[in-house]
Structure 1
Amino acid sequence: MPCYKNAIRSFICFCIALICINTCAAQVIDDDFEPKAFKLNIPKAPDAQFLTLKKRHLDAISSGDLITQGICLKDMGMICFHLGDFTRALQYGLDAKKLFEQEKRNDLLADTYINLGTLYYYHQDHRNSRSSFNQALKIYQSLRDQQGVAVTLGQIGHLMEKKQLYDSAFFYQQKALAAYTSINNNEGKAAIFENIGSIHEDLGQYKAAMSYFLSALNIYNNSKQITQSIEVENNIGDIFRKTGDLKKAMQHTQQALKLAQQSNEIYQVSSAFRDISKTYNLMGKNDSAFYYAEIARTYLMKIYSLETSRQMAFRQALNDEEKKNEEIRFLQNERKVTLIVTVATIVIIVLLVIAGLLMLSRHRIKLKAEQQASQQNIAILETEKQLIEAGLKNKNMEEIQLKQEIELKSKELSTHVLHIIQKNQVLETLKAQLEELVKDDKRDQKKQLKQLITQINQDFNNDNYWNDFSNVFEQIHKSFFEKLNQQFPNLTATDLKLVSLLKMNMNSTDMASMLAISQDSLRIARYRLRKKLNLGQGDNLIAFLQSI
């Protein structure tokens, strides 16, 4: 009986581990649609690479080099793509396309269309994705570039596979294979073999799939393409596992793991451990399955951490670049002001010299003394008028600059608010779904689900966003909290959060989302705040806060 309970416990732990792995994998591992034609070797510091490209782009704009501008935009777009910023990547790609069309660089234009096809796919825009691939194919055919034709046909076939149009997928993959064969490109043929094998696997035709995977593996091994060999070894392991030959499945998966560890392919290492876990589960060895599932989960967490750090560094680099550009614009404005002041000073000096000459000439020509004195007074008045106008312009410029700074801070504050609202809304949805699962008595993972709900509630109370929010809020509304605390020292941190949102005149729905509370709780919080602020029945709470 104890053995039976232990077996059940091990199986439950294994299932939970698989759920965690699949959840993390959905966040970290991209869809396998990514065409092989533009798998970039992204540098370890994409932010530095992006800034280098951006500098080259600015230099190209200064020199009027449209081709270099387009190339930089295309490469910047692909860095954004690999970092998950698909919207920015698509915009860069469209800008590059316009430049290449203008310069009639069809070779670069075709490559850009391939990138756009992939980006449209990630935006769930299959129509524009197919249209972009068709444009690339048309250009490559006009250039008689068989390599480009083969790549594009393979990508169209891959798109058809993802849309589950398997007949069309076979058709385009076979045409791509013929194109690669005509130029004797074995590596391209291997990629197509792998794609065709994947289609057969989707259709449950495992014998045919195995044949194509083995053909691809043979080519990759001969050309020492380690990364591609790892992927095919994993695919072959999947076929054996699906057909029930668990021993051979384990052999191929372990071979993939060995190659991945030797080449430090962390994604493939994680995938191999996950497949080993699945195989052990099918063997009935749930303890081993759980052990390897935990290893796979650890690798996925590491991947997620690395990707997050890389994206944060990239975002920070973009923000720093924007700040730097803002400082440059500020310095340019200062130089303009300095130039105006210098010109005014020169004018004054010239006028003073003229006045001195007039004073000397008055001794010589007494008849013209009054006329010269009058002219001098007029000149002095004009100079004073110019100085006053220059001073007013300086003050106006200072006011404009202050308004721009306030607008910038307000935008930054709105961005923080939006981030908090979006995060809380997602957590609210997840929490509601998890609570529904907890209410289901048929499920046996209540304890784990309750732990997840507790973690979500803890995340609701995370003050990191509030700290950033408060810093920006203080910069816009200087000394607001200080004055408020002097008058009402008994206000809590929660009261201050509510006060800041009321000060911004935010609606009740957004305030409730920001504070992660219900509308009823918000009304109670406002009522308690009014009591602490000693407001009467007819006093307006928001008007009172705006007056501080």
Structure 2
Amino acid sequence: MIKQPKESNTSTTPKREQIRELLNQAFNMHRSDPQEGFRIAEQGKVLAEEYGGKGEQAEAYYTLSCCLDTLSDYDRALDYADKALILYREIGDKEGEGKVLNTKGISYQNNATLAEALVSFSAARDIYEELGNAIRLATAWNNIGGIHDSLGNYEPALEAYLKGLQIYEEEGEEEYGAMVQYNIGSIYYHLGREFSDYDKALDYFKRSEKTLERLESEYSLALSLNGVASVYIAREEYDAAREILSRVSEIFEKIGELRLQATILLEIGIIDEKQKKYSSALQRFQQAASTLQSLHVLHDYGTAQYHIGNLYFNQEKYGEAIEALNEGLRALEKTSVVKMEKEIRWVLALAHRELGNLEETVKQMVRHSELMTEQFSGERQDSIARMQVRFDVEHAEREREFFRLRAEYMEELARQRSKELSTTAMHVVAKNTLLQNLRNNLRSLIDQSEGKARLLSKRILTQVEESLRSNDDWQRFEEMYQLVHHDFVRELSEKYSELSGTELKICALMHINLSNKEIAELLCVSGRTVESHRYRIRKKLGLSSETNLAGYLAGL
């Protein structure tokens, strides 16, 4: 349960300053040291629930969510994000709401729950569009593009990326824009593999590279350069690819990204092997394997041992091949990756066959066949699951569009009905004013008339007074009022049962901002009578003289 703050409402109390400092420190650590960041955020949460307002509590839950997402604890991350979202909505903090929705989308995406991720990113996009926050709007478009990209829905992915890119360029955010260019290049690379046309991919990768080079953004630059190298490899321009990948390796080493450096060394080794530079290839593979083993990255280490073993096999060094491949298997046994084990089993079978080890050859081939079956079954299930996710994403998009259109329709309908209600009220006021003036004139005429004229005037006066006493106009007005404001009168009467019928009418009319004069004319009473009712209503509602009665009713 969220505790209410025990201190004053002053926004700069020492406790609140301490809360902000803790949460800022925790957020700044949520990627580099999420465990420590979570511990500090927990301290901030305890203080926020004890001394802070809803804003501090929401910020604490948001920070905890960010730390848990980095720790891959997605269920708890989403739980804290939901708590933060509720509080931000209660205090009307749209910026806070938007950033939490974005964080939820990232957690859903990391947990492969892509339909929910798309819904969250789309909701964040709508908020930032409403607020006019261009940078975060562009980020939301980029995130939406990433979801479609993951599903292979390249057309909507490209459309979203281009929208994000346009905004970044308009706002002068060059680094963000360059990374979107890299994302667009990746789409064209995937499409290019089908048609052997990589020109657009290379163009976007190089545009990204040029900007990031100028900005000296090394990590992002390395990613863009790797994209350029992938195009050269696809075109079999191996010397150009090796030169670029060597530079990428140097960048990753410089900034301490040793795992990524090792994977780049594997790529360079594969190029060396294709060009029959076996000594250089072996050196690259062994260097990568040593790094990955020290980092305990078992899947990548197993992959490096596969490349070493396969290289030995191609050089007819079957004993060394078997030794390296078995080392790779031992590493992969601790993972759940089927594909690389399948490749290793096949080369092992061939190596044992060359050495005349028929029993071991059969054993490896049988296991290879089993893995092929498992992989096919898994790919089939993945394909079905991916189709289901695509359906869920498309359904979520259509559902979101339906609710958006329905909300627009209901908003427009409410505006029209509110306008009609005001028009009806003014019509009744005008009619009653006319009848009251007519009644007063008839009374004067009766005093001054005799005979038939006097009788006729009395008859007309009776009809006018009956019309003024009639409840028909009020009933029509009340029916229309219910369409616009639904159960306002009923809920008010349930909450304040001591209010009389006339007082409820006056409350309803004040709720739509009618003046005392207009209320008096609508109800055919004097202004003094309305003032008296307002006084009694204020007492029954328990409002002080400082509280604006009309404002209070409008807020209900």
Which TM-score band applies after superposition, normalised by the shorter structure? 0.5 to 0.7
Q: Cα 1:54–1:287, aligned 2, differ >3 Å: closer, same or farther?
A: same
Q: 2 CA distance for matches of 1:337 and 1:41? A: 37
Indicate the structure whose relative CO is greater, using CA pairs within 8 Å and at least 6 residues apart. 1
Deviations 1:154-208 (A, max 9, x none): 3322321211012212222233344445556544432332121110122233332
Q: Cα 1:49–1:227, aligned 2, differ >3 Å: closer, same or farther?
A: farther
Q: Secondary structure at the match of 1:365?
A: helix
Deviations 1:117-162 (A, max 9, x none): 2211111141121112212221122122344444433332232121
Q: Cα 1:271–1:72, aligned 2, differ >3 Å: closer, same or farther?
A: farther
**Aligned counterpart, 1:470:** none
Q: Does 1:154 align with 2:230?
A: no
Q: 2 CA distance for matches of 1:79 and 1:277? A: 40
Q: Does 1:293 align with 2:369?
A: yes
Q: 1 CA distance for matches of 2:246 and 2:428? A: 88
**Aligned counterpart, 1:320:** 396
Q: 2 CA distance for matches of 1:317 and 1:41? A: 12
Matches within 5 A, 1:38-117: 42-117=110-185
Deviations 1:499-546 (A, max 9, x none): xxxxxxxxxxxxxxxxxxxxxxxxxxxxxxxxxxxxxxxxxxxxxxxx
**Aligned counterpart, 2:295:** 223
**Aligned counterpart, 1:264:** 336
Q: 2 CA distance for matches of 1:147 and 1:203? A: 29
Match of 1:329 among 398, 405, 412: 405
Q: Cα 1:91–1:237, aligned 2, differ >3 Å: closer, same or farther?
A: farther
Q: 2 CA distance for matches of 1:92 and 1:275? A: 43
Q: 1 CA distance for matches of 2:252 and 2:138? A: 29
- How far does residue 274 in structure 1 lie from its aligned partner after superposition? 5.0
Match of 2:424 among 328, 335, 348: 348
Q: Secondary structure at the match of 1:263?
A: coil
Give 5+ residue unaligned stretches, structure 1: 1-39, 377-386, 388-548
Q: 1 CA distance for matches of 2:410 and 2:226? A: 56
- How far does residue 295 in structure 1 lie from its aligned partner after superposition? 2.3
Q: Secondary structure at the match of 1:262?
A: coil
| TM-score normalised according to structure 1 size | 0.54
Q: Secondary structure at the match of 1:44?
A: coil
**Aligned counterpart, 2:279:** 207
Q: Cα 1:246–1:328, aligned 2, differ >3 Å: closer, same or farther?
A: same
Deviations 1:291-343 (A, max 9, x none): 42232321332144135314413431331342133134224313422442343
The two structures, once aligned, show a CA RMSD in angstroms of 3.6
Q: 2 CA distance for matches of 1:173 and 1:201? A: 15
Matches within 5 A, 1:104-183: 104-124=172-192, 125-180=197-252, 183=255
Match of 2:381 among 305, 314, 317: 305
Q: Cα 1:246–1:82, aligned 2, differ >3 Å: closer, same or farther?
A: farther
Which residue identity does 1:154 align to in structure 2?
N
**Aligned counterpart, 1:421:** none
| TM-score normalised according to structure 2 size | 0.53
Q: Cα 1:347–1:113, aligned 2, differ >3 Å: closer, same or farther?
A: closer
Shifted more, 163-172 versus 264-273: the winner is 264-273
Which residue identity does 1:241 align to in structure 2?
F
Q: 1 CA distance for matches of 2:111 and 2:268? A: 31
Q: 2 CA distance for matches of 1:324 and 1:174? A: 47
**Aligned counterpart, 2:31:** none
Q: Secondary structure at the match of 2:112?
A: coil
Matches within 5 A, 1:364-403: 364-365=440-441
Q: Cα 1:83–1:273, aligned 2, differ >3 Å: closer, same or farther?
A: farther
Which residue identity does 1:97 align to in structure 2?
L
Q: Cα 1:136–1:338, aligned 2, differ >3 Å: closer, same or farther?
A: closer
User: Whose Rg is larger?
Assistant: 2
Is the Cα contact below 8 Å between 2:109 and 2:147 reproduced in 1? no
Is the Cα contact below 8 Å between 1:197 and 1:213 reproduced in 2? yes
Q: Cα 1:270–1:305, aligned 2, differ >3 Å: closer, same or farther?
A: farther
Q: Cα 1:326–1:354, aligned 2, differ >3 Å: closer, same or farther?
A: same
Q: 1 CA distance for matches of 2:342 and 2:383? A: 15
Give 5+ residue unaligned stretches, structure 2: 1-107, 446-455, 465-475, 477-556
